[in-house]
Amino acid sequence: MDFIQLSLETAEVARRAGQFIRQEAARFDRSRVEHKGLHDMVSYVDQESEKLLVAGLRELLPQAGFITEEGTAGAPSRAEEFTWIIDPLDGTTNFIHGLPCYSVSIALLQGNELVVGVVYEVNQDECFRAVRGGGAFCNEQRIHVSGTAELNSSLIATGFPYSNFARVDTYLPILKEFMRRTNGIRRVGSAAVDLAWVAAGRFDGYFEFNINSYDVAAGILLVREAGGHVTQFLHDGDPVFGREVLATNTAVHAEMQQVIGEFWS
């Protein structure tokens, strides 16, 4: 299969969904927001965007299974060969409040391996894509992780828990230590964008826990193909389905793991 061509076609599917999201942002009615759980919001925009994505991706690979955030493709189903992992609107809270950072995220698994990843940041019209073994690109310009050599000179990103606070007392000391040992911490509000920006060298590292596969799958491939390193917090477990992610430019990975390891067990 030609994964480069498939990635280009996937990027076009993401752009079409992004165009719909952009149009709806101009006339969004906050009264139509629903709650899936504590602080976990969803809108008709998420759901309609996902339907567009599922329809477009089914045309590209009719035999593939789907793991989607909103469940419009039915129950999550991993096919034997190919599985799409989709977040139709990563950064829903930003979107609802009119904050300009949210994205469409699409990844393709072949068996257990990520082979295609696309993140489309809607507001800046930036389409990031990667193919296993083929590099990473933003609007078809090749991207690379940063050359920052030390944590002390780095800018990193994270996300905050919004519904599961079981480990918040462990998480806060980690944030405090990173405040002391970096140039700053940013909380953008879209994990897919955080990872894309690590791949593009804008962030030097990113970490988050209690995260879902559809938030990070595409971005993980972007970082790896841009020369970065992605693991779970303290070991090389599966960051796609492992519920925690540490992604860096490689150079600061060990230092970030050391800081996290001082508090996380």
CB neighbour list of residue 173: distance below 8 Å, 6 or more residues apart: 262, 263
Domain 151-261 CATH class label: alpha beta
Residue 247's pLDDT is what? 98
Does 262 belong to an annotated binding site?
A: no
Reported as a single tens digit per residue, the pLDDT across 85-117 is: 999 999 999 998 899 999 999 999 999 999 999
- Tell me the mean pLDDT in the region 32-49: 67
Does 50 belong to an annotated binding site?
A: no
Does 46 belong to an annotated binding site?
A: no
Residue 164 has pLDDT above 90, yes or no: no
Does 69 belong to an annotated binding site?
A: yes
Reported as a single tens digit per residue, the pLDDT across 132-151 is: 999 999 999 999 999 999 99
Reported as a single tens digit per residue, the pLDDT across 199-238 is: 999 999 999 999 999 999 999 999 999 999 999 999 998 9
Does 90 belong to an annotated binding site?
A: yes
Q: Domain coordinates of the chain in residue numbers?
A: 3-142, 151-261
Residue 138's pLDDT is what? 98
Distances (CA, A) of 166 to 169, 171, 172, 210, 256: 8, 10, 12, 10, 22
| pTM assigned to the model | 0.94
Residue 76's pLDDT is what? 73
Domain 3-142 CATH class label: alpha beta
CB distance 121 to 188 below 8 Å: no
CB neighbour list of residue 232: distance below 8 Å, 6 or more residues apart: 238, 239, 242, 244, 245, 246
